Amino acid sequence: MGYAVIDPDDLDPTPDRPCVKRAIGARAGLENLAVNRYEADPGEQLPLAYHYHDEQEELFYVLAGELHVETPEGVHEVLAGRCFVAEPDSPHLAYNPEDASATVEVLAVGAPAVDDVHAYEP
């Protein structure tokens, strides 16, 4: 058996990211589930690029603020307390718009925890 209690605020941010990313799943030693907490100021995006995954399903739960997610179908505005879900092969770019009045805080969950990300050119 294995258990962990983790305070995301105690985790060092992942370097070289466009916003603050704290890798909760990595600290917990999770092998099948990626869990990250993001804090994006106005004008910052969560991922490194507009992208999609071959296998990974992603869920973004907005803790505070309003997350915007660009897709080929348009921009989705996700309020605090709501979720955005991206299935495999579904391009998306999550961000906090330049004109936002506050930081957006997001808990992101992905499974399986694989590095199958591909850049997407709209």
Domain ranges, residue 34: 13-119
Number of domains comprising the chain: 1
Residue 97 belongs to domain with CATH number:
2.60.120.10
Could you tell me if residue 20 is inside a domain? Answer: yes
Q: What is the pLDDT of residue 122?
A: 85
Amino acid at 117: V
CA-to-CA distance for 115 and 96, rounded, in angstroms? 24
Determine if the pTM surpasses 0.75.
yes
Per-position pLDDT tens, the chain of length 122: 789 999 999 999 999 999 999 999 999 999 999 999 999 999 999 999 999 999 999 999 999 999 999 999 999 999 999 999 999 999 999 999 999 999 999 999 999 999 899 999 98
Cα distances (Å, whole numbers) of residue 102 to 60, 67, 74: 18, 11, 22
